[in-house]
Amino acid sequence: MEELNLFIKSIFIDNMIFAYFLGMCSYIAVSKNVKTALGLGVAVTFMLTVTMPINYALDKYVLQEGALSWLSPSLADVDLSFLGLIMFIAVIASGTQLVEMAVEKFSPSLYASLGIFLPLIAVNCAILGGALFMQQKDFGSAATATVYGLGSGIGWLIAIVGLAAIREKIAYSNIPAPLRGVGITFIITGLMGIAFMSFLGIKL
Amino acid sequence: MLSKKNKEALFNPLSKDNPVLVQILGICSTLAVTASLKPAIVMGIAVIAVLAFSNVIISLIRTTIPTTIRIIVQLVVVAALVIIVQQFLVAYTYDVSKQLSVFIGLIITNCILMGRLEAFALNNRPWPAFLDGIGNGLGYTAILVIVAFFRELLGSGTLLGCHVIPQWCYDHGYENNGLMILPPMALITVACIIWVHRARNKELQELN
């Protein structure tokens, strides 16, 4: 039950885009049409779900203060948490590389349709941000962390597909010239964020 | 020292080639840390430092990096610098580092860094790369400060934590606009800045 609450919370209330602005660069750049937005959204969701338990294990069993005590009692006061950032980004970058190779080998058609988005995910802040929030929230088990990753990914997916759909329609509107393109995208995202704020009061 | 090309590397990012307004890089942190002025300034300084030094380091080793693994090399250099900055902030300005929470760590995936490393540091000598880093960092900081200025002033009636809106305004019914503190208004503030900026620089306007 607790996992379900966390899942819904991470999709709607703690939405990666509207509450924390993570993964904004690709969100603005790759939202011109729904199809590519969907592809990127699925890729991000997948990476968040896969890297979250790995980073969780890394944090719990290697990096935290006293985490190494399972190796030998003499290591109980070793604190490697300052290495967190570099380890997380290494996991994410190598994970992206592996996923890219696997997709290229087993499903060339999917690989062709995702194209450059796959390697770009390594520097998508949503993934590293997810890992850092996971560390901050101090989840009880790897399963909970995975649920959090999946939920955040789906929230990101919903946001980018929604924005892409609006931008496809807005092509027919007469927007003031200086606002065309990026400017109006920011305003749309802001309005979508205000709409998502209506989920704020919900207690789960 | 400051030839024409170097001057361009330093000053273009301030307005004509601004990383946030024109290159649309580093949006995440621009939006997230600007609810008040102090964290915005600290964040700006952190980004200037990391950007300038990572540019120099990558530029120094640019001939030895194999192109196939350059992204990982860049990430490692940036991550090491960010860890130094993070430890420094925790040591000297603990409360600000708490406020910035994960966003210092997220400098690693700040697109400005990867963007500048890829586009400039990989094909330029260390000194121009350093100037480019400083210039882009300053351009980023300028936007951060402008956004934070308006959000803090209108949202909480303070600047750097000092009350600037006099008490008699409140007595006559002035209210702080709480919406400005909330995340969505950051987007709309940036959109307004883009609007003004592009209205003044017509060549930047997009067709659609």
pTM score, whole prediction:
0.81
Sort out which chain B residues have CB atoms less than 8 A from A182's CB and list them.
Answer: 24, 194, 206
Question: Which of B23, B47, B67, B102 is the best residue to mutate to test the A interface, defined by the most A CB atoms within 10 Å of its own CB?
Answer: B102
Within a domain: residue B185?
A: yes
* Span A111-131, average pLDDT: 75
* Span B96-123, average pLDDT: 79
User: Quick check: B206 and A181 CB within 8 A?
Assistant: yes
Long-range contacts of A13-16 (CB under 8 A, 24+ apart): A13/A199, A13/A200, A13/A202, A13/A204, A14/A152, A14/A155, A15/A155, A15/A156, A15/A158, A15/A159, A15/A196, A16/A126, A16/A129, A16/A130, A16/A152, A16/A155, A16/A156, A16/A159
Residue B170 to residues B158, B164, B179, B190, Cα–Cα distance (Å): 13, 12, 17, 27
Within a domain: residue B73?
A: yes
Q: Which residue of B has its CA nearest to A175?
A: B208
Question: Distance (Å) from the C-alpha of residue A197 to the closest C-alpha of chain B?
Answer: 9
Give the pLDDT confidence of A142-157 residue by residue, as tens digits. Answer: 888 899 999 999 999 9
Looking at residue A165, its pLDDT comes to 92
Could you report how far apart the first and last alpha carbons of chain A are, in Å? 10
Within a domain: residue B9?
A: no
Question: Distance (Å) from the C-alpha of residue B184 to the closest C-alpha of chain A?
Answer: 4
Question: Distance (Å) from the C-alpha of residue B17 to the closest C-alpha of chain A?
Answer: 15
Within a domain: residue B4?
A: no
Q: Is residue A120's pLDDT more than 80? A: no
**Exposure of B116 in the CB half-sphere (CA atoms within 13 A):** 40
Within a domain: residue B53?
A: yes
DSSP code, position B159: E
Report CA dihedral (B147, B148, B149, B155) to the nearest 10 degrees: 110
Within a domain: residue B6?
A: no
User: Quick check: A86 and B79 CB within 8 A?
Assistant: yes
Sort out which chain B residues have CB atoms less than 8 A from A124's CB and list them.
Answer: 109
Looking at residue B208, its pLDDT comes to 56
Q: Is residue B1's pLDDT more than 70? A: no
Looking at residue A154, its pLDDT comes to 93
Looking at residue B2, its pLDDT comes to 66
Residue linked to tokens 């400060």: B145
Selecting from A21, A82, A179 the residue whose C-beta is nearest the C-beta of B183 gives A21
Q: What percent of chain A has pLDDT over 90?
A: 8
Selecting from A20, A84, A125 the residue whose C-beta is nearest the C-beta of B109 gives A125
DSSP code, position A33: S
Looking at residue B3, its pLDDT comes to 75
The boundaries of the domain holding residue B196 are: 19-201
Looking at residue A127, its pLDDT comes to 86
Within a domain: residue B14?
A: no
| DSSP assignments along A166-193, one per residue | HHHHHTTS---GGGTTHHHHHHHHHHHH
User: Quick check: B83 and A21 CB within 8 A?
Assistant: no
B141: how many CB neighbours lie within 10 A of its CB?
Answer: 19
Give the pLDDT confidence of A160-203 residue by residue, as tens digits. Answer: 999 999 988 888 888 888 888 888 888 898 898 888 888 877 77
Nearest alpha carbon to residue B157 among B146, B167, B165: B165
Q: What percent of chain B has pLDDT over 70?
A: 98
Calpha distance A170→A177 (Å, rounded): 14
Calpha distance B137→B55 (Å, rounded): 11
Give the pLDDT confidence of A58-86 residue by residue, as tens digits. Answer: 888 887 777 677 777 777 777 777 777 78
Within a domain: residue B3?
A: no
Please tell me which of A56-70, B27-41, B81-95 the model is most confident about, judged by mean pLDDT.
B81-95
Sort out which chain B residues have CB atoms less than 8 A from A179's CB and list them.
Answer: 191, 194-195, 198
When pLDDT is cut at 50, 70 and 90, the band that residue A121 belongs to is confident
Residue predicted with more confidence, A117 or B135: B135
Residue linked to tokens 């967190």: A84
Cβ contacts of residue B73 below 8 Å, gap of 6+? B58, B61, B65
* Span A129-134, average pLDDT: 85
Residue type, A40: L
Sort out which chain A residues have CB atoms less than 8 A from B184's CB and list them.
Answer: 18, 189-194, 197
Residue type, A5: N
For chain B, the domain total comes to 1
Sort out which chain A residues have CB atoms less than 8 A from B147's CB and list them.
Answer: none
- β-strand partners of A38: none
Q: Is residue B19's pLDDT more than 90? A: no
Q: Is residue B206's pLDDT more than 80? A: no
Please give the ipTM for the structure prediction. 0.81
Looking at residue A98, its pLDDT comes to 80
Looking at residue B12, its pLDDT comes to 78
Q: What percent of chain A has pLDDT over 70?
A: 95
Residue A68 to residues A9, A59, A139, Cα–Cα distance (Å): 32, 10, 18
SS3 A46: helix
